[in-house]
Amino acid sequence: MEKTIKIIFPYDQSLVKELPLIDKSDVEKVLTIAQNLFEDQSNWIPAYKRIEILEKTAFLMKERSEELIHLAISEGGKPYKDSKAEIVRAIKGVKLAAEHISQLKGEQIPMGLTEAALNRIAFTTKEPIGIVAAVSAFNHPLNLAVHQIATAIAAGCPVVFKPAGTTPLSGLALAEILKEAGLPEGWLQVVLCDNETAELLVTDKRVHFLSFIGSAKVGWYLKSKLAPGTRSALEHGGAAPVIVESDADFTEMIPDLVKGGFYHAGQVCVSVQKVYVNEEICDRFTAQFSEATKKLIVGNPFDETTDVGALITPKEVDRVEEWVNEAVAKGAKVITGGKRISDTCFEPTVLFNPSEDSKVSTHEIFGPVVCIYPFTDRDEAIKKANALDVHFQAAVFTKNVDIALDTVKKLNATAVMVNDHTAFRVDWMPFGGRDASGIGMGGISYSINEMTREKMTVFKSKFL
């Protein structure tokens, strides 16, 4: 009997679509198609053609942007205004991928620096790395698909894309658009499968590169199972810390941090989670931050006034509720929120001074909860901010340039925002975690470069 997966609208749990899953017996066919395309270089798509395909893809996406917005909302539950921003980003991402193709170039390596290196000229060129297996997450179903698919196509690699089981429709829509834009058959295969089948696929020795966005537990496990020589980029989450000094500008800071904390109900890998506030202004900060949080509208993501939608599944609401209750039992004070609204929505919640061993302090919450911790010594606050194994993006709010530079230097993060929230991102900047938060670097151009490898050519001639 054919296995299927049901796509559910997170807000009211209504059925959106039911789709078939592939099983282990289909993996061989999928990889053979990709291998045959890559091994015969006459199949490779020339650079000008890749540019044409991606440019037309961006054009078609823009034409169908409203359709893509509604599709993303129906499967992911992100509010309309944020889903609209995601689709705009995704279109820009495809354009960035097309533009970067012209930058895939090598360099001349100097010869003649020793007697043994006389009469030679050497240069490097960039080649596609090979078959890319991409495993994606649910929280940005179209934009993440672009970051894994458009980059592979730009690099010249056949790609097998496994979207999150909860949000596959945006990836499938992108695949249809790419096909319409002229992408030859087989260069993109979207597969829906269970975890065992996915593991069989990505750990096959024919896969040259694994792009994984999702939980650290799964990502590091898959990396440990990769075939020798398979490269990888893993993007996991963090518990994004913020340092707020006494001279911070409240007018700019409060709306920024509220957006960074509750965007997509906190289901963002760099969502504001732990805010360390100088004791001198902590009461004022807590009052203003909680007042702004209370004004957020929680509701149906199709309503254009909604600020915070549903969590991806009711199970996640249960988990967030358990973590908040545990924090309260251990001494945290609920400033606002703290309770479920329904089976699918949780109140935007502000907790004051949870214990250091509470789950909200030690794990990525991935829900609409922000924790505030007062401090008297900034170095101690930074030490606490760095204490976890996960290090991704962080932030500091101050008008003192020396304090800003000192904090940027001391925070363990791949990126530190000064006077901006931790979830800031544009798709042409490097983006990724360090330590337990990931390996490799995302961002359109950075991903494309990771999906290529260098080849050096050395000519020897007495005329050189």
Q: Is 269 a catalytic residue?
A: yes
365, 273 in Cβ contact below 8 A?
yes
Q: Where are the alpha helices (DSSP H) in 101-157?
A: 143-155
- Exactly one of 75, 235, 364, 450 is catalytic; name it: 235
Are 14 and 8 in contact by the 8 Å Cβ rule? The answer is: yes
Strands 438-439 and 231-235: antiparallel
Query: For residue 228, how many other CB atoms are within 10 A of its CB?
Result: 5
C-alpha of 349 from chain center: 24
Helix (H, G, I), strand (E, B) or coil at 403: helix
Q: Could you write out the three-class secondary structure of the chain?
A: CCCEEEEECCCCCCEEEEEECCCHHHHHHHHHHHHHHHHCHHHCCCHHHHHHHHHHHHHHHHHCHHHHHHHHHHHHCCCHHHHHHHHHHHHHHHHHHHHHHHHCCCCEECCCCCHHHCCEEEEEEEEECCEEEEECCCCCCCHHHHHHHHHHHHHCCCEEEECCCCCCHHHHHHHHHHHHCCCCCCCEEECCCCHHHHHHHHCCCCEEEEEEECCHHHHHHHHHHCCCCCEEEEECCCCCEEEECCCCCHHHHHHHHHHHHHHHHHCCCCCCCEEEEEHHHHHHHHHHHHHHHHCCCECCCCCCCCCECCCCCHHHHHHHHHHHHHHHHCCCEEEECCCECCCCCECCEEEECCCCCCHHHHCCCCCCEEEEEEECCHHHHHHHHCCCCEECEEEEECCCHHHHHHHHHHCCCCEEEECCCCCCCCCCCCECCEECCEECCECHHHHHHHCEEEEEEEEECCCC
Is 347 labeled as catalytic in the residue annotation? no
Strand-pair partners of 369: 349
> β-strands 188-190, 159-162: how paired?
parallel
Dihedral angle over CA of 27, 31, 33, 37, nearest 10: 170
User: Which member of 157, 193, 269, 371 is catalytic?
Assistant: 269
| Residues acting as catalytic residues | 235, 269
